[in-house]
Amino acid sequence: MPSTSRRALLTAGAGAALALAVPTGAHARERSRPFGRFGSPGARLTPRTLYVHPGGLGDHTTVQAAVSAAVGAGWTLVLAPGTYRETVAVSPARTDMTWIGASENARDVVVVYDNAAGTLRPDGTPYGTTGSATTTVQADGFTAHWVTFANDFLRSDLPGNSGTQAVALKTQGDRSAFWHCRFLGHQDTLYADSTALSQVARQYFAHCHIEGDVDFVFGRATAVFAHCRFHTLLREDRTDAPLGFVFAPSTARTTPYGFLASRCRVTSEAPDGFYKLARPWVPGSDPTARPSLVVRDSVLGPGIDAVAPYANMRETFPWQRQRFAEYRNTGPGAEVSVPENRPQLTAGQAASATRTAYLGDWDPRGTLGR
């Protein structure tokens, strides 16, 4: 797919014309009720609700302006349909913040930018992977419903530059929940992390769409993915396998749980067998990391290499020494032809690979998310 077409898909849902506007078929509703069933500046859901509208019908025209105005805990931001081309940072002090896509369709509300690790800051230094994030959330208790987080950087934007990591969302807070959201990018799309090596950050992703190519779900968070779709992309810059990896956890050795994908799907634009399910990331900042991943009760499409679904990022940290396992997966990409390449949980072990075990005393299921 041509780069220009790919970028257009990143920032516009199917059939949508979002460029700081609204979906084509929704103009009348936008004029009369731009925030749907979630109130308005004249009839707020609560005193701590702010409304964002790119055309000026809300309290703020950008998401970051609303975040900056929401000082303290417990704010709700209702986002009208539109493309918000900006970077956004939610600081640790802004706890228990909620973002709601007003149309209740994540395709209509897109927060997007195009920084990459190799992109230069105004001072001439590169952003790096962390600095490339379109949205960074450091606060505990963050929740988002029906929002697309995207990074539409393309490798062709920086020819010859190896800094092609381009994060759509970096989330570091504990008790972070995402419902019916989309995460769009290429390399390093979703960075599920914590604020410190010693800090356990529990995160929950339900009914979400996550797509990319290289390590596009990565980090050291304790993250549960339920009923999500992971979609692997074609790459214009290479044609040989593997084109990439879905997961790259970097779980700290002392953290009991890493990534859990339960009742999910893995689909692909690429040829059969051209993607690995995962590889372990042992970062220089934590050479003792022992990445953890469980994929269970999920459908793995033919894009996953069923014979050898795991690979090493570095030979000094082989995947076999990490905490990788599967349980009751189905589909062409889940076929077990070489058992030693596909560690499986026993039924007893699977009893501990659940949302409750991973998240402990935190139940993320709220009224909007159910």
Catalytic residue positions? 188, 215
CB count within 10 Å of CB 234 equals 15
In the sheet that holds 265-268, the strands lie side by side as: 82-85, 109-113, 148-151, 182-184, 209-212, 229-232, 265-268, 299-300
The sign of the CA dihedral 38, 36, 137, 21 is negative
Query: CB of 109 within 8 A of CB of 103?
Result: yes
Q: What CA–CA distances, in Å, run from 288 to 219, 245, 255, 291?
A: 14, 22, 12, 10
Name the token pair of 242: 């593997």
